[in-house]
Amino acid sequence: MRATRHGPQRPLASTNVQAAADMDSSRWTSVDLALLVLRVGIGVSFVFVYGWDKMAGGPGTWADLGRTMEIFGITFWPTFWGFMAAATEFVGGLCLLLGLLFRPVLGLLLVVMTVAFSSHLAAGEGPWHATEMATVFVALLLTGPGRYSVDAYFRSSTGSGEAERV
DSSP 50: I
Report in angstroms the alpha-carbon separations of 162 from 7, 105, 155: 36, 21, 7
> Taking the model in full, what pTM does it have?
0.77
Q: Where are the domains of the chain?
A: 32-165
- The C-alpha atoms of residue 116 and residue 16 are separated, in whole angstroms, by 51
pLDDT, one tens digit per residue, over 110-164 is 999 999 999 999 989 989 999 999 999 999 999 999 999 999 999 887 765 554 4
Report in angstroms the alpha-carbon separations of 121 from 25, 39, 70, 94, 143: 44, 27, 13, 28, 29
- The C-alpha atoms of residue 20 and residue 25 are separated, in whole angstroms, by 9
Mean pLDDT, the chain, as a whole number? 86
- The C-alpha atoms of residue 33 and residue 148 are separated, in whole angstroms, by 7
pLDDT of res. 156: 83
Task: Give the per-residue SS3 of 99-129.
Answer: CCCHHHHHHHHHHHHHHHHHHHHHCCCCCHH
pLDDT of res. 16: 55
CA 83, 146, 104, 119 dihedral sign is positive
